Every structure is written in C-alpha cells, then in structure tokens.
C-alpha cells in the first residue's frame, strides 16, 4: 500500500515558501518592475506602430507572452536554486538519508516552486491592468495552464539544479536556451506573421504551444490548436518527471 509522508512534504514546502518571503524584493518586486518596463517599451512604444493582431490590441496581445516569460523564469529559477543550495552546502545528504522518498522530495520542491511562480504570475496580471483592458475568456482553463506549465518548468529547474556543479552553469541553460526559446516562441508576436520557412522551423519550439495555449485562455485563439498545446504539456511532464524521479532514486549527481 502506498503511503505518503505528508509531514515531510509540508516541512520542505514550508521551508521553500519561507525562503521566498525572505527574498521578496528579488522574487516579487523585480518581476513586477520588469513587466512594467515591458509594457512601456513593447506596449506603448512598439504597440503604437502595430494597430492590432487578430483584432486584439498589441498591448493586450503580449500579456500571455509576459505571463509565459514569468512562469519560465520564476519556475526554473526557484526550483534550480532550491535543489542546488543543499548540494552546495552538503545538506542534500541529510535529505537523502531522511525518511522521505525521492518522489516526495520532488513533490515538495515542485509544489513550492509552482506556487511561487503562479503567485508572481497573478501579480503580473494585476500589474497589467493599468496598461491594458485585461480580459480573460477562459479563467478556469487559465488556472489549468498556469499550474501545468509551472510544474513542467519546475521539474526542468530541478533537473538543471541537480546537473549543475557551479553557479555559472546554473544559469547556462536558462540564459542561453530557455529565454531565447521563449522570445522566439511567439510571446510578443504571432507565429502566423512569419514567412513559411521560419514558421515551419518555429513549430519545433515547444514554447510555441505553451504560449498558444495561454493566449487561447485569454482571447479564444492561438497559433496552434488547443489539443496540441495540451499534448505538448503532457509529453513534457511525462519525460521530465521520469528523469527527475530516476535521479532522486539513483542519487545521480547528488551523492557525488
């Protein structure tokens, strides 16, 4: 019979959430300031040159992209630092020897990271209200996408934090791969605006399907079908969960 160590999961979760409030300036205020700058630069400056995209003003159009950027950066950063610091200080050995299973450890870290990124994303949406006429066509679906996307990126963040052996390498994948993929994934433009060759190549970017799903939640349309977005989310979750579970079970890059 499967038993769940709720107390251990809650303890790890509470510890990670407490760390967030101790660094609120970095984890909450910084994304809000960045989002405000995005609205000023993209929404006002560039938006004044672009009338509408699919009948939506450019300022409104970039809101899902900004939420996507927030989810990606916050989830990956929170999860990667959460597991890297115990490795760096040696506290990970206490974690591995504690009466808590590998999947319970992963659950606690992913839950904390996802909670943080969702909270910041909601704050981002509130920040957007003074700049745009915010409208969410499918609010329940938006919550589903916020949760599933943040969980996927949190799992990826755990993987990055486990594999990294220095602070520089901790930032390597987010800066050189994830952020460019997010910007090139239709966050601030429609993929349908691209030439056919570039559009074909862009469709191999998984971020496209995540942004498209978020945009559908707001306005009822996206660059891809909703079912494709859900399929990509489910596929990413299955692969990342399997890898992270194997690493915790085997101790790879944790015990040495």
> What is the tens place of the pLDDT at every residue in 179-189?
999 989 998 88
Residue 137's pLDDT is what? 94
Per-residue pLDDT band for 157 (boundaries 50, 70, 90) equals: very high
Strand segments, DSSP code E, in 8-159 are 52-53, 56-57
Pairwise CA distance, residues 14 & 74, whole Å = 18
Residue 166's pLDDT is what? 81
Sequence-distant contacts of 49-53: CB under 8 A, at least 24 apart = 53/189, 53/190, 53/193
Within a 10 A sphere around the Cβ of 91, how many other Cβ atoms?
Answer: 11
Residue 160's pLDDT is what? 92
Residue 2: pLDDT over 60 = no
Residue 1's pLDDT is what? 45
Residue 34's pLDDT is what? 80
Compare 50 and 48 and report the one with higher pLDDT.
50
Q: Which helix (H) or strand (E) holds 53?
A: strand 52-53
Q: Which residues contact 218 (CB under 8 A, 6 or more apart)?
A: 60, 63, 64, 135, 136, 137, 138, 142
* DSSP tag of 46: I
52: β partners? 57
Taking the CA of residue 122 as centre, how many other CA atoms within 13 Å lie in the half-sphere pointing to its CB? 8
Q: What is the mean pLDDT of residues 86-109?
A: 76
Residue 256: pLDDT over 60 = no
Per-residue pLDDT band for 49 (boundaries 50, 70, 90) equals: low
Q: What is the mean pLDDT of residues 194-199?
A: 91
Q: What is the mean pLDDT of residues 103-119?
A: 89
């Amino acid at each position: 019979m499967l038993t769940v160590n709720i107390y251990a999961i809650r303890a790890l979760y509470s510890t990670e959430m407490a760390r967030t409030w101790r660094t609120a300036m970095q984890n909450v205020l910084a994304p809000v300031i960045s989002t405000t700058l995005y609205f000023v630069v993209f929404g006002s400056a560039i938006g004044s040159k672009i009338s509408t995209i699919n009948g939506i003003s450019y300022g409104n159009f970039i809101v899902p992209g900004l939420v996507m950027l927030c989810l990606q950066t916050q989830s990956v950063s929170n999860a990667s630092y959460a597991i890297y610091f115990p490795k760096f200080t040696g506290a990970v050995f206490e974690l591995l020897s504690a009466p808590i299973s590998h999947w319970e450890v992963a659950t606690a870290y992913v839950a904390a990271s996802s909670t943080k990124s969702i909270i910041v994303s909601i704050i981002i949406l509130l920040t957007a209200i003074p700049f745009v006429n915010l409208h969410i066509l499918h609010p329940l679906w938006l919550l589903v996408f916020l949760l599933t996307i943040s969980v996927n990126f949190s799992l990826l963040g755990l993987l990055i934090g486990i594999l990294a052996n220095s602070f520089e390498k901790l930032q390597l994948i987010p800066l050189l791969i994830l952020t460019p993929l997010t910007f090139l994934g239709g966050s601030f433009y429609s993929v349908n605006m691209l030439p056919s060759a570039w559009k074909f190549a862009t469709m191999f970017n998984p971020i496209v399907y995540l942004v498209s799903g978020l945009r559908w939640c707001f306005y009822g349309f996206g660059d891809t079908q909703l079912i494709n977005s859900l399929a990509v989310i489910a596929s990413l979750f299955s692969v990342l969960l399997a890898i992270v579970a194997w690493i915790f079970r085997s101790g790879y890059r944790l015990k040495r």
